[in-house]
Amino acid sequence: MIPNKAIDKPGSVTFVLLLACGVCAIAVALHLGGDVVSIGLCGVLATVLPGVVIAQRLKKWGLADPLVLFCTGFVLYHAVLPFRVAMVGGTENLASVYPVQFPDTTFVKAGLLSVISALGISFVALAMPKRTGAHQVLDGAQTITKIIKSDPAFCVGLSLYALGLEFFYLNTMTLGGFMAFYSLDRAQRYSDLASQVTYPHQACFLAAFLFLGCAVVPQKSRFKVCVLAIALIAWSMGMLLQGDRRTILNLAISLLGLYTCLTRWRVTLSRRSVAVGLTAVAVLCVFANVRLLIPRVVTHNMSVSEAVTASVEDSADFGWLLPERTELAGPYLSLLFSTDHSEKRLLGESYADSLIRLVPRFLYPGERPESLSVRFSADIQQLYVRRGTAPGWGYSPVAEAYDNFDFAGVVLVGMLWTAGFVLLSALPSIFRFGPLFFAALLPQAFNCNRSDFATVLVESTYTVILLCFGLGILTVLGGTASSHVRKPARPDQRVHRPYTA
């Protein structure tokens, strides 16, 4: 039952107070503080507004809550860099990796767009009707272990893993084989694959690991645990050789969500979790320098010892830890670029093109429209880089909303993303196989902060299709049981049986 659908008044009051303080602070900063102070204030507000949502939900739901991940990603990709600009005293003192320099006024406008989006996010998260148990991530999630049988799920997981290997092999063959595949730079490889007919091998691997997790976590069989560990190590090595950090992070978030559902274990901010998180961030930052050397080692243009020496020298000054030289600066470039170059509004064109991209390439008549992030990288390459392949900078959802519907879109899209993740948090308790689909879609709560809508939609759709495919195989094999539990008869109920002599 859902007895309470009233708006949470404390949440509404909190939002109103934050809104009033934010508006006053921005007005004072723009009038008295100047650009640098305004940039820092925008960073503060873009942190505090989602931070209130994180604080309210983290203790109760843990890190596997979609809104916690979404707001955390929003702060990292939209608030850290403005903080850094304010700390160094302006963009002229920033050691940026951007191919173009932006003035302080552009950072002010981009910061204001982030604050406006943060207001929409916090409003929906704090003022939406609260339900007393319907959207709880953990309620009813353990029933998945009673619905899916362990051995058939293990077989389906291995089958999907083998299918992912086959898809990966076919994708490498389109570029000339394994050696040619790994010898290409990561950006060049993705650019070449974008023009070829490819297969969703990453979605296959994600679905495979989710089914293997459903088979391993309840029973904890040593054999199944070893098979899962070997499959994870082999897949991770392949991703590291490709220089793909984002896919590894997505799988880690998915497995965390599944494990949380199956065991009712909430991962909160403790010393251990903070230490693990900081270590993971440092390792990924170091790997950002190392992955550029992988193609040289594969093509024998550099030995392994030379690559190790070069990576150590590049990381010795610890400059790679600065926000402007890490992953956090990439998507923010699209927001800065949009504030300076976005003249004609797309009026929803990029979102409509995302639906068209769901049609497979070999079925689509003619040339498919390019995604917004691909067009953005091409613009950067043509205007500023003019050599090689434009790297994948990512794309901010705030920039995409601004490109389509101006300031109104920034507010609306932030609210829609938040409402969608509130609904996602309800999935484990309202759907029979909800924990599986919840875990599969959970990484997009973080990933949407650095990707355009087309990327999120295509990845989510293929993952859901492959999950449904695996569940269909389970049903045929008899690997699923009925979720309906027969209620015991009450003591006062009489059972009438036919009379027999």
Q: Please compute Rg for the chain using Cα positions.
A: 25
**pLDDT level of residue 426 (50, 70, 90 thresholds):** confident
Q: Is residue 418's pLDDT more than 60?
A: yes
Considering the chain, what is the average pLDDT of its residues?
77
Residue entry with tokens 């850290």: 80
pLDDT value at residue 106:
87
At 12 the pLDDT is 56
As a whole number, mean pLDDT of residues 66-91 equals 89
Evaluate if residue 17 carries a pLDDT over 90. Answer: no
Q: 488 or 155: which carries more pLDDT confidence?
A: 155
pLDDT higher than 50, residue 455: yes
pLDDT band at 261 (very low <50, low <70, confident <90, very high): confident
Q: Up-side HSE of residue 35: CA atoms within 13 Å toward CB?
A: 15
Contacts of 79 (CB under 8 A, 6+ apart): 43, 44, 46, 47, 114
pLDDT at 194: 65
pLDDT of residue 230: 92
Residue 18 has pLDDT above 90, yes or no: no
Convert 246-279 to b/e letters by CB count within 10 Å (16 or more is b). Answer: bbbbbbebbbbbbbbbbeeebbeeeeeeeeeeee
3-state secondary structure of 52: helix
- Alpha carbon dihedral 147, 153, 157, 159, in 10-degree steps, equals -130
Does residue 392 have a pLDDT over 60?
yes
Give the residue carrying structure tokens 């002599």.
501
C-alpha 304/C-alpha 293 separation (Å) is 9
Whole-number pLDDT of residue 129: 57
Provide mean pLDDT across the span 193-212: 84
Residues 332-350, mean pLDDT to the nearest whole number: 84
Distance, in Å, from the CA atom of 296 to the CA atom of 344, rounded to the nearest integer, reads 42
Please compute the mean of the pLDDT values over residues 222-236 and round it to a whole number: 89
Selection from 215, 171, 235 nearest residue 197 by Cα: 171
Q: Is the pLDDT of residue 9 over 50?
A: no
Q: What is the pLDDT of residue 236?
A: 85
pLDDT band, residue 488 (cuts 50/70/90):
very low
* Buried b / exposed e along 416-449 (16+ C-beta atoms within 10 A): ebbebbbebbbbbbeebbbbbbbbbbbbbbbbbb
Lowest mean pLDDT among 202-211, 218-227, 382-391, 457-466: 382-391
Supply the pTM of this predicted model. 0.84
- Asked if residues 39 and 397 have their Cβ atoms less than 8 Å apart, the reply is no
Task: Look at residue 461 in the predicted model and tell me its pLDDT.
Answer: 93
